[in-house]
Amino acid sequence: MLEHYFVKPQTVDRIRASWLGESIERYVAWLVEQGYAVRNIHRRVPLLVQFGEFAQKRGAKCLGDLPIHVSAFVEDWLGKRPHHRKGGGRRELANEVRGPVEQMLRLVIPGCTAGTRRGPWDPPFAKEAPGFFPYLREERGLKEGSLRAYGFHLRRLRKYLKRVGVYELGALSPVLLSAFVADCGGVDESGQSGKRLGRSSMIGLCCSLRVFLRYLHREGIVARDLSPAVESPRHYRLADIPRSISWEEVRRVLEVVDRRTAGGRRDYAMLLLMVTYGLRGHEVAGLTLDDLDWKRERLCVPERKAGHSTAYPLSATVGEAIVDYFQHGRPQTTDRHLFLRVTAPHLPLRGYSVGNRATHYLRKADIRVARPGSHTFRHSCVQRLVDAEFSFKTIGDYVGHRSPSSTEVYTKVAIEGLREVALGDGEAIL
């Protein structure tokens, strides 16, 4: 494998003579399989050889010893090159050095999580209530994303209990729980909100906490059910205004997408799916080639948030955009996911990646909206259906709402009429 990328036999011999030679060659094979450019192989291999020599001098004797030497290697590498980029550019350079090393370690060391955004799943209160997360997964049927949300909130509770000197769940009380909720939603000593939770997050925290407390009572870990002691912030029905944009603004966003590039073709198809069918970001990311029925001109969206699937007629505009992406933008791979990363490794996009691309084009089109993202286009789809006077039931089924109340919020505001009033041209509608 190495002979295909390094012309001089001496170079190949030097790489293989390294005590990481076998691991480096395996990593090169993986890079080729994932579609990395040749220049990446030329840049990364010498770096890995240097890392092997550095770690060996510091006492590394096996692959398992390597992760603890990564940070020191990066600092040493940058220290020997003071003329390289400074400031933010130097931080980027450090990531360019660290990335290939940690990527190889994850490949050759079983269970290695070096450099991953999320470490191993560490459920809070695993010793005190070991069955809680299996209960959520198996009895309540929650998905991993929901389990992570429960973990986020319960880690805050664990940290708070440790801070106030409470180490047993049996010591929980209504007063203690009220103080915890107030601590999460209040302000810090300087009067700033800091890392306190917003209203929506507070509602999620209180819901998670009540479920946890009911489980503790059911299992006999606490003497009585403390869930009634947890009160959520008041949330008035239909209090929010949808974050939709006008159809003219949707056109502006679509026009700024550069469809001459592979990424532009992909993003254009994703935006059309969101604004045409009201799909959520994770629903777009989860689409596979098997969800497209070209013969019957149908699009199937499986495993929606409400726990059901939806089949749509495949719009000609959407179909043409997907075909264009297939022919001129989608990487050649055996992966069945519809939308993939443009650059290697060609992995499936995640839901947050879809949202990031939507945010990018909203800002590029200079459209200001609160919390821009994939839901902006979903809201625009729903608002257009409401303006067309479809029934709430029809709209809710179309976009996969779990409850009619999710649709009713769009009837609260005459969006276009208020826009005319704001511009000073709408006195006739008052």
Residues classed as catalytic:
280, 305, 375, 378, 401, 410
Q: Where on the phi/psi map is residue 277: left (φ > 0), alpha (ψ -120 to 50), or beta?
A: alpha
Q: What is the DSSP letter of 80?
A: T
Alpha-carbon gap, residue 24 to 11, rounded angstroms? 13
**Token pair belonging to 378:** 């979903």
CA 140 to chain centre: 23
Whether the CB-CB separation of 409 and 379 falls below 8 Å is answered with no
Strand-pair category, 298-301 with 292-293 = antiparallel
3-state class percentages of the chain: helix first, strand second, coil last, to nearest 5: 60, 5, 40
**Token pair belonging to 222:** 């606490």
Alpha-carbon gap, residue 299 to 23, rounded angstroms? 43
- CA-nearest of 219, 25, 202 to 125 is 219
Distant-in-sequence, close-in-space partners of 225: CB < 8 Å, separation ≥ 6: 213, 214, 217
